[in-house]
């Protein structure tokens, strides 16, 4: 590279077009959008999701035969074989179809005692997810010793640092994740090649390596996508955006792998960026990392992988793009923890995304000749296998230092030490633009009892923290902290713990990074502390002085605080409450809806209410005397929505029928539908006259809920509520502060919401209610939201309506969301707001 990295970045930002030809900057940096892939972002609002087939696949064999000692290695499983699928998209590329993987692994297990295959879960459609471990055989006692050392590193890093046996004998764990994007196939084939080579090698160096290393492969993290040739999984989720939310079985499976194996190095194999791409990434860097410990290894390992692919001799692999070294800030950042490698860093891994170079998916898949596709996939497989081999070699060559640095990361956590200042030039190009840091609070408290906004939400958050290997304790007595009083049973997250970075990235507010970089790759704000519906308090300096006990599962929260014979009330404050209401409606219980959204359940349905309380953790209180209110039916929703929204609406227990422009034009029957949900793939202007007539008839007594600009356009074209919708920049996103208004969804809603492509409403006509508004004094709490050329930033949105409601002239009760209350199944504390809107609009 010609110019020093920091200089080049500065120049790039200011004088992009003018200066680029002078500097030998990689082509990708000149046209940055070329290597940015969609990931369930703004484009979610273009096409409506269709139903996900619920069919579970049936394998040829149901029983898994367990072989070998469960405690030692190998720990082999005879994998069940899935039926041959001639339409598997991998076949055209000359790559392994999913159904061929289990037979290959079964055969390898027969031939080699270095190979273990296990099933770690099932995909959305029921295909097995495989974990393959390659290592020299271990007796049960040896495997127990490895487990002990792994736990010592995390639980008692000071002792681990002194343990000479550990330094000499702990096998370096390396984890390779492949094919998380289903139509980026070759990671699987490269992984299988490496597994097969290592299974049978007689090379003394490789045999020795397997005695000091355990290599774990999740050979395909998205088998449904692999077969169908889709980036997303079968539920329409981008699995590589789902970490720390974990809505999908594919992301939960690898979450448990990273926790269980505690890798020193991990690679996530993707494609296709034209030139091979190898992280570390650009700024902004995740502020909760021990970034010094990460970067020194990540940079060296990336250089080693680059050198290795150059050695392949293909002209297409002569060099790699290393975003940290080669791209301007914001172009390929490692800020959010939603990506597998970034998530893995918080568990102590040196995590890298690797992108193999040559595109074989999408248009190229359909248009290129088969020979060209296979030539490309061959090179891509070489790159995947070679980066894996080079990554393993790095772990072997640097085993002691990697172990020492993982120990150091956990030690700093336990000790509560600040992150390290990193000097300029720490690795070539490290400078001021790379400095991101966090000040860790001393503790978080998730209160119990009346101090808690929603007990089911608190329990969900606690269980989620534990599932992520964050340590949570429960106070045995009442206590005072930072000026507040907490009841016994309150949860404490003591930030003196090994994975404090992960705890903080989950619970902290986050940061407004709009001014730091011109744009970001994906989301920039998340905060489960603000968006998951639980009250989470922060104590900056003091730890609570109270006896606590470790928690492995949150306490049950459900119950009925009502004498027998009395009507029951359920405040709809959380998605769990919504699930309970929909469950009761499904049981034939006649519930009633009060003006404030509270649901009244007759005393006669007490038995069903008890079931709901136990199943969903909800609490019933005594219903107010007087009118019960109108009958609440479980609404039937016709939904032109994105895949994530469809997933959430079904999870909440609504009866949802997928809808689109075409479906409506093709005669979709609106009879029996209570409410339309419009956020994607429904355009009023593209409806036929006949479809518009059916819609007009529906709108005399049916309800409408919309989200985003697709929904706002529908509102305008169908002549529903008189408002003007104003759009912010399409890639702007983050956590926003909001003020609750009056109305059915605004009252009692959380003080924060989430936006992506933010929208607000002005010129509110008569009868239109502002349910919620963006906070007056700077709504963006965390994320990236620039005004853009239209000057529509947070300052312009401040004080404007984010959610509005009203009754349209034709009669339809209508609610318009400018926020993203269901985004990727993440902001769980906002679900009840949507449900309240659906219940209200459905009372026609």
Residues that bind Zn ion (CB under 5 A): 181, 184, 270
Least distance from Zn ion to the Cβ atom of residue 521, Å: 12
- Among 136, 284, 128, 129, which residue's Cα sits nearest to residue 207? 136
Least distance from Zn ion to the Cβ atom of residue 318, Å: 22
Nearer residue to Zn ion within complex by CB, 186 or 645:
186
Least distance from Zn ion to the Cβ atom of residue 184, Å: 5
Least distance from Zn ion to the Cβ atom of residue 270, Å: 3
Question: Using CA atoms, how far apart are residues 409 and 346, in angstroms rounded to an integer?
Answer: 9
Q: Is 204 exposed, middle or buried (0-12, 13-18, 19+ CB in 10 A)?
A: exposed
What number of residues does the chain have? 844
Least distance from Zn ion to the Cβ atom of residue 355, Å: 7
Nearer residue to Zn ion within complex by CB, 184 or 574:
184
Question: Using CA atoms, how far apart are residues 703 and 272, in angstroms rounded to an integer?
Answer: 44
Nearer residue to Zn ion within complex by CB, 237 or 444:
237
The pair of three-digit structure tokens given for residue 214, joined into one six-digit string: 């355990």
Q: What is the DSSP string of 6-50?
A: HHHHHHHHHHHHHHTTTTT--HHHHSGGGGPPP-SSGGGGTSPPP
Place of tokens 């110019």: 3
Partners of 805 in the β-ladder: 769, 815
The pair of three-digit structure tokens given for residue 150, joined into one six-digit string: 């792994």
Nearer residue to Zn ion within complex by CB, 232 or 781:
232
Considering Cα of 370, then 373, then 379, then 383, what sign does the dihedral take?
negative
Nearer residue to Zn ion within complex by CB, 522 or 674:
522
Quote the DSSP letter at residue 475: E
* 353 HSE (CA, 13 A, CB side): 27
Least distance from Zn ion to the Cβ atom of residue 150, Å: 29
Least distance from Zn ion to the Cβ atom of residue 381, Å: 16
Question: Using CA atoms, how far apart are residues 331 and 551, in angstroms rounded to an integer?
Answer: 40
Least distance from Zn ion to the Cβ atom of residue 353, Å: 8
Question: Using CA atoms, how far apart are residues 776 and 276, in angstroms rounded to an integer?
Answer: 46
Least distance from Zn ion to the Cβ atom of residue 233, Å: 13
Least distance from Zn ion to the Cβ atom of residue 181, Å: 4
Quote the DSSP letter at residue 782: E
Nearer residue to Zn ion within complex by CB, 181 or 606:
181
Nearer residue to Zn ion within complex by CB, 184 or 567:
184
Nearer residue to Zn ion within complex by CB, 277 or 837:
277
Residue nearest to Zn ion as judged by C-beta position: 270
Considering Cα of 233, then 257, then 179, then 75, what sign does the dihedral take?
negative
Nearer residue to Zn ion within complex by CB, 180 or 578:
180
Question: Using CA atoms, how far apart are residues 282 and 322, in angstroms rounded to an integer?
Answer: 9
Question: Using CA atoms, how far apart are residues 115 and 784, in angstroms rounded to an integer?
Answer: 45
* 360 HSE (CA, 13 A, CB side): 33
Alpha carbon 644 to its chain's center: 11
Least distance from Zn ion to the Cβ atom of residue 287, Å: 24
Nearer residue to Zn ion within complex by CB, 222 or 710:
222
Partners of 756 in the β-ladder: 733
- Among 488, 497, 493, which residue's Cα sits nearest to residue 507? 493
Nearer residue to Zn ion within complex by CB, 135 or 353:
353
């Amino acid at each position: 590279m010609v110019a020093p990295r920091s200089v080049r970045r500065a120049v790039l930002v200011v004088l992009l077009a003018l200066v680029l030809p002078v500097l030998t900057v990689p082509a990708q940096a000149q046209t940055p959008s070329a290597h940015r892939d969609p990931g369930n972002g703004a484009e979610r609002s273009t096409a409506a999701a269709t139903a996900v087939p619920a069919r579970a696949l049936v394998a040829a064999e149901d029983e898994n035969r367990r072989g070998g000692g469960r405690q030692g290695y190998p720990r082999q499983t005879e994998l069940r074989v899935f039926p041959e699928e001639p339409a598997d998209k991998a076949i055209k590329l000359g790559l392994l179809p999913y159904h061929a993987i289990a037979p290959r692994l079964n055969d390898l297990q027969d031939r080699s005692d270095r190979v273990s295959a296990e099933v770690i879960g099932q995909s959305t459609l029921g295909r097995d997810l495989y974990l393959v471990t390659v290592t020299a055989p271990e007796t049960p006692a040896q495997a127990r010793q490895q487990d002990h050392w792994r736990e010592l590193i995390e639980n008692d890093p000071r002792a681990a640092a002194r343990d000479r046996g550990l330094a000499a004998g702990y096998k370096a764990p390396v984890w390779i994740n492949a094919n998380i994007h289903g139509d980026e196939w070759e990671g699987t084939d490269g992984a299988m090649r490496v597994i097969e080579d290592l299974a049978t090698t007689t090379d003394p160096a490789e045999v020795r390596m397997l005695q000091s290393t355990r290599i774990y492969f999740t050979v395909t993290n998205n088998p449904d996508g692999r077969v169908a040739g889709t980036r997303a999984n079968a539920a329409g989720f981008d699995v590589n955006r789902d970490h720390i939310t974990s809505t999908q079985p594919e992301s939960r499976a690898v979450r448990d792998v990273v926790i269980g194996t505690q890798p020193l190095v991990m690679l996530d194999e993707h494609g296709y960026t034209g030139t091979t791409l190898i992280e570390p990434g650009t700024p902004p860097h995740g502020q909760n990392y021990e970034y010094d410990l990460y970067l020194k290894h990540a940079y060296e390992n990336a250089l080693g992988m680059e050198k290795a692919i150059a050695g392949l001799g293909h002209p297409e692999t002569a060099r790699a793009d290393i975003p940290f070294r080669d791209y301007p800030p914001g172009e390929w950042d490692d800020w959010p923890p939603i990506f597998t490698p970034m998530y893995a860093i918080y568990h102590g891994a040196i995590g890298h995304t690797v992108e193999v170079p040559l595109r074989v998916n999408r248009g190229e898949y359909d248009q290129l000749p088969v020979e060209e596709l296979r030539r490309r996939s061959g090179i891509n497989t070489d790159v995947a296998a070679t980066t894996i081999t080079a990554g393993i070699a790095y772990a072997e060559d640097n085993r002691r230092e990697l172990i020492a640095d993982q120990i150091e990361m956990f030690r700093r956590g336990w000790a509560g030490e600040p992150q390290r200042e990193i000097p300029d030039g720490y690795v070539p190009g490290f400078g001021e633009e790379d400095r991101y840091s966090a000040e860790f609070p001393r503790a978080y408290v998730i209160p119990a009892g009346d101090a808690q906004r929603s007990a089911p939400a608190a329990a969900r958050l606690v269980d989620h923290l534990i599932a992520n290997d964050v340590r949570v304790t429960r106070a045995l007595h009442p206590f005072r902290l930072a000026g507040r009083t907490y009841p016994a049973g309150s949860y404490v997250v003591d930030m003196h713990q090994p994975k404090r970075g992960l705890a903080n990235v989950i619970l902290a507010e986050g940061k407004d990074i709009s001014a730091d970089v011109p744009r970001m790759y994906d989301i920039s704000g998340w905060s489960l502390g603000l968006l998951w519906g639980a009250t989470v308090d922060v104590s900056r300096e003091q730890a609570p002085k109270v006896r606590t006990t470790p928690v492995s599962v949150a306490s049950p929260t459900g119950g009925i605080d009502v004498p027998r014979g009395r009507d029951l009330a359920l405040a709809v404050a959380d998605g769990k409450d919504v699930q309970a209401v929909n469950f009761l409606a499904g049981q034939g219980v006649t519930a009633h809806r009060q003006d404030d959204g509270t649901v009244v359940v007759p005393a006669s349905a007490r038995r069903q209410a008890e079931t709901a309380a136990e199943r969903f953790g909800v609490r019933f209180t005594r219903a107010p005397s007087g009118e019960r209110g109108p009958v609440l039916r479980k609404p039937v929703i016709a939904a032109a929505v994105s895949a994530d929204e469809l997933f959430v609406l079904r999870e909440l227990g609504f009866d949802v029928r997928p809808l689109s422009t075409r479906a409506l034009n093709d005669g979709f029957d609106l009879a029996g539908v209570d409410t339309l949900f419009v956020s994607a793939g429904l355009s009023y202007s593209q409806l036929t006259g006949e479809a518009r007539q059916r819609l007009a008839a529906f709108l005399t007594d049916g309800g409408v809920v919309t989200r985003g600009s697709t929904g706002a356009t529908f509102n305008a074209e169908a002549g529903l509520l008189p408002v003007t919708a104003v759009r912010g920049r399409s890639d702007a996103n983050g956590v926003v502060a909001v003020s609750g208004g009056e109305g059915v969804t605004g009252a009692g809603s959380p003080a924060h919401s989430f936006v992506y492509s933010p929208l607000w409403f002005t010129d509110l006509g008569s009868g239109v209610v502002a349910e919620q508004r963006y906070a007056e004094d700077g709504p963006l709490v965390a994320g990236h939201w620039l005004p853009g050329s239209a000057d529509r930033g947070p300052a312009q949105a401040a004080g404007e309506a984010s959610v509005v409601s009203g009754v349209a002239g034709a009669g339809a009760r209508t609610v318009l969301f400018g926020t993203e209350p269901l985004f990727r199944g993440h902001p769980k504390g906002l679900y009840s707001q949507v449900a309240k809107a659906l219940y209200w609009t459905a009372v026609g």
